[in-house]
Structure 1
Amino acid sequence: MPKDGAAKTWVGGVMTALKLKQHWDDYQQLSQEEGRIALDDTLAHVSAPNMGQLDTDIPAARPKRKRPAGCCSCCGTRCGLFWKAFGIVAGLLTLWNIGRLIIWILTPAPTGLENMPAYSTSLGCMAPAANILYNSTSKLTYTLPLTLDHEHTLDIRGAAVGTILLAPSAHPTDLTYEISIRTDDAAVFDFVEIGSADNGGTFTLKSPIIPLMHPEHRHACMRYDMTVFLPQSLRDLEIKTSAPAHVKFADVPEVASLDSLKVALRSMAAAAGDNLLLPNTQIQAKEYALEVFSGWLVGDVPIVEKTTLRSDRGDGVVNARVHPVAVPADEDEDDDDDDFPKMPAAKLSTYTGHGRTDITYLHGPVHRPIHSTHKSQSNGDMYLTYKNSGFNGQIDLKAKTYTMRNVQGGMGKDNSDRWVGDKDGEDRLVVKSNLGWVGLYF
């Protein structure tokens, strides 16, 4: 909406235009100008006494047309003209705001994913521009036996960008990598190292830091595309990348169940592409931790025991649908209520930074106690939707600004006594954002 100064300028401009129009209309309607004098063509029809002489005297002043009296005037300004100008401007402003309202109604609400890049293609360095293959083959295959503790780490270092697809495998013990590496400058392959440690516990892909190479190679690109097949006996998996990477969980019917899963995409170099971490519920872990420094963490996240999502070290965007997984009930011999065994709590923690956070908590097959903590270390907005979670319990919310729906209480001295459903319920929710805004919806 225009500011007050602009509105006053509009009113003044419209008044000036109306005044000019009024003067023009007065000029057009003026009927006092003298014209030709019509005389009879003969004097025979007019008697001598009725004859007069032609009046050739010039009037001292031209008669003025009488204007209709205005309603009022103030300081030399006609009030009627002012209110007419004011009405025109008010009408224009009303139409302007109605138009903006219609546009706002028809425009979909922003989701925070408007600038999310496309998987794989947004990284660039693809054929035919980059058609030189490592070892002259489109697929390198590495099969690794698991260690005695059934742990494995994938460590990707250097400046190469790439994709990682995680897929459950039917094989009981062997972990398999299928990798393609390409570039547009064969010289960069001289600095590539790929392989596993002696015990097979770590698989490493090292690529050169291209901006630090000889000037003639600094415009080269390099990328990898790998699929990791996870065996059934794998217990712990950790993935670390230092350059922009796109990590995706395969959309397959099989479910991989781990004790621990940790994925950290540490790149902050948006110029070379953005991180993408796209999880789903087909890979589950008791200790489940996903992190992006910059980029996007978007998808479906399970909770077996404890799930942690992080973007607090940068401006990463988090948009996750949370699914508590059905687990066996706690077997407590001291529990007198054997007919209704106690379900273990589903623990969710998010730590976010400058980027936007959207968390939608969904109801599982069986309701498990909700123990959630959401903290923002910076000014990123947090949208927390627990509408379909079946939440019953207390809420501890502290934020610079916030919006809440269907939350009870909050009338105490420090507004901390809030709850949803049963105040004495077993669910707990803690939300803290000292610098940003929080939307909490039930």
Structure 2
Amino acid sequence: MMGFTDKLAGMLKKKEMKRRESVLFEALDSYIKRETSQEEKRILEESLPYVEGILSGAQNLSRFLEELKEMERQELFKRLDRIVKNSQKRFADSLKNVVTRIHLGSKTFEGLETFYTDVTDALQQIQKLTAMHGKYLYLAFDREMKEFSRNAKDIAANHHMLGNLLEAERENLNTLHEIKSHIQEWNVFLEESHQMEENGKKNRQAIHSLESEISHLESTIQKLQSSEEYQDFSETEKQKQELNQRLKSVEGEIYNILHPLDRDLRKFKRQVELGHFSFDVKLLEKYEHLTEQFLLENEGYPNLKKIAQSMKEALEKQIIKEKGHKRHKVMDIMDTILNDGLLDLQREYHATRKHLDAQVYDKKIVETMAALKREMEEKRTEIKELKVKISASDERKDEITEILGDLKRTIQEKCADVGIDVE
């Protein structure tokens, strides 16, 4: 068997003789996979003599241990004979369990390293069990135990050579595995970058399509706005606005006249409730909001006149107490009410309200335009959301580009360590 020094020298010379390879980055993935596979295959081939030596030694030990349990012992002292008999069985059974675990699993570098670790453990157990039981067994089975020791030493020698081989090849193979892992990582990020690119393209196309749809909606709305139906609607809306403004103006005038009575109306209601003046409390309760109730009165506002007449009488009798300017002002408002001073405003209010209620237009065109505007706004919102996605996608693409650059430099450096120039 070639010594380890000669073997190692041969491997180093072979590595020095190996010329540097130039590989395109795009082809690096398949190249590294092939190179890693070939490297593992070569290591397995070189380790084969050591593995076979270990397995052969293990088989020899296993056969010996089976035979040991039944071996006839040499004549010994009676007490010593019992000790040897006990050691014989324990040693054989315990060591058989250890030796049974020596087997090669997967034929890969990892499988080889696992095998090496298992053999390391087995050798330690062999040494331990031999120390415990061997001294007695050598007395009874000297020749056989010496053969056992030779087999164990052969296993240890092959184990040592296998360990040296693994140590010599581990760095190079680990570097290849690291490169392979980095390339896988590169491919993942590259795929993500392509996906971002594809998503960005789809989103931009979607924006273009939405903008075209918005333009079409705007054109449709403009056509509707130019239609006779819409012109009728616009004219009606204008008239409604004017009528509403006039209605509010009339309401304001009525409010300004009646509002100063609010406080005295509450006083009057209180006196009626106390029984100091006879009047319909329910009517007063209806008129708690003067202006609003007045606007609901029949023409000539008879109910308000009843209230005004009674309040005037209560003022004159000092049941409602007011003095000076305030009293004169309240009395003037009562006279205005009683002398039909609000009749023109009442008639104008109801005429305007009637005219306003008569304004009728086809709601269909308005509803159509409202629906179109809602749709247009929804599309504008969708465009904003798509632009946010595009912005986020572009930022992520920039991050990935930087990551890919770092990964490529790392891959190139690792490849240089194992004689591969990446173009």
Judge same fold: TM > 0.5, yes or no. Answer: no
Structure number having the greater strand percentage: 1
TM-score, normalization: structure 1? 0.21
Structure of higher RCO (CA pairs closer than 8 Å, 6+ residues apart): 2
Structure 1 or 2: more helix by fraction: 2
